[in-house]
């Protein structure tokens, strides 16, 4: 989103101060008549007699037609120059298609249009339980959690930042006290701390940023810390907007991390399903 400039047609300052110069300031403008009286030349009179007529009856001065015309505004002066320029209305912001990246990578998406609720953080648990796992009511039960291998979540939620990840984790607590959520993002746990957690904890749900998730998928001693054995869904936090109205798909540095992450996940887990929340 230019500054509005006012018209500069009108002259300002003292541009016309010296239009009329007193006669005693210019000796060339003074002459002596026969009686020794000073007579000002017609050149130095404020108004030329040619432009003034005398009324023979009352001696009053009347302006001739030529002077009246001089007072009129210049012919053809644009009226728009006297007005402030109007700001042009902003063009409507073009919305980025959240599905475009998946189409480019040839990744099919779960059709989530039938999920009727507004996609807020508070409705995320409902999205997981009642939509993705509508046919499996025990997906997040304590008994099911015990069957999972350490470091192998059922659902991986990918968010654009660490702060956003924390916001997502809060409502997930309603899944139950037995459901631990793996925190796979920076500014909270260091990489070696996350590796230790993944090696020992059963976490049905994991929330992380693309860059950190990719690091934890890299092969290390004993294999990649983040395992995909039980992974069924990858949920992209795609409708949330930050203060600058950006999504995970429109922040360049985050979008650039998404492509290699999706490729890695597809190579290692071909049957995993992708969904945008």
- Higher pLDDT: 42 or 112? It is 112
pTM for this predicted structure? 0.66
**CA-wise closest residue to 155 among 108, 205, 102, 202:** 205
Tell me which H or E stretch contains 110.
none
Please tell me the predicted confidence (pLDDT) of residue 15: 35
- Higher pLDDT: 217 or 66? It is 217
At 17-29, the pLDDT tens digits run: 333 333 344 444 4
Please tell me the predicted confidence (pLDDT) of residue 91: 54
Mean pLDDT of 98-124: 90
Please tell me the predicted confidence (pLDDT) of residue 61: 47
Which of 44-58, 186-200, 255-269 has the weakest average pLDDT?
A: 44-58
Which of 200-204, 217-221, 240-244 has the weakest average pLDDT?
A: 217-221
Please tell me the predicted confidence (pLDDT) of residue 263: 92
| Residue 105 pLDDT level (bands cut at 50, 70, 90) | confident
Please tell me the predicted confidence (pLDDT) of residue 252: 87
Checking if the pLDDT of 100 tops 50, the result is yes
Which of 45-59, 98-112, 140-154 has the weakest average pLDDT?
A: 45-59
At 125-182, the pLDDT tens digits run: 999 999 999 999 899 999 999 999 999 999 999 999 999 999 999 999 999 889 999 9
CA atoms within 13 A on the CB side of 231: 23
Checking if the pLDDT of 267 tops 90, the result is yes
Q: CA 66, 72, 78, 81: dihedral to nearest 10 degrees?
A: 130
Whole-angstrom CA distances from 102 to 63, 124, 258, 266 are 82, 22, 10, 12
Cβ count within 10 A of residue 234 = 23
Instruction: Find out whether 206 and 158 touch, Cβ atoms under 8 Å.
Output: no
- Higher pLDDT: 253 or 78? It is 253
- Higher pLDDT: 30 or 43? It is 43
Backbone conformation region of residue 222, classed left if phi is above 0, alpha if psi is from -120 to 50, else beta: left
Mean pLDDT of 110-133: 92
């Amino acid at each position: 989103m230019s500054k509005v400039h006012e018209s500069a047609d009108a002259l300002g300052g003292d541009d016309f101060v010296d239009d009329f110069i007193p006669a005693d300031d210019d000796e060339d403008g003074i002459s002596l008549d026969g009686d020794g009286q000073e007579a000002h030349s017609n050149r130095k009179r404020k108004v030329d007699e040619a432009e003034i007529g005398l009324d023979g009856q009352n001696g009053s001065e009347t302006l001739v037609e030529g002077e009246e015309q001089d007072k009129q505004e210049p012919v053809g002066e644009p009226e728009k120059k006297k007005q402030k320029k109007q700001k042009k209305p902003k063009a409507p912001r073009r919305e980025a298609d959240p599905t475009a990246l998946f189409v480019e990578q040839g990744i099919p998406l779960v059709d989530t249009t039938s999920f009727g609720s507004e996609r807020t953080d508070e409705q995320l648990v409902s999205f997981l339980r009642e939509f993705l796992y509508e046919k499996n009511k025990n997906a997040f039960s304590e008994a099911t959690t015990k069957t999972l291998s350490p470091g192998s979540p059922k659902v991986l939620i990918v968010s654009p930042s660490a702060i956003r990840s924390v916001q997502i984790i809060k409502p997930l607590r309603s899944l139950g006290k037995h459901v631990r959520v793996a925190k796979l993002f920076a500014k909270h746990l260091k990489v070696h701390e996350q590796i230790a957690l993944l090696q020992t904890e059963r976490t049905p749900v994991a929330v992380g940023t693309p860059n950190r998730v990719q690091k934890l998928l890299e092969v290390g001693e004993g294999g990649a810390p983040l395992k995909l054995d039980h992974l069924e869904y990858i949920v992209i936090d795609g409708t949330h907007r930050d203060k600058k109205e950006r999504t995970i798909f429109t922040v360049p540095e985050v979008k650039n991390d998404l492509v290699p992450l999706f490729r890695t996940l597809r190579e290692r887990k071909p049957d995993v399903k992708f969904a945008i929340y």
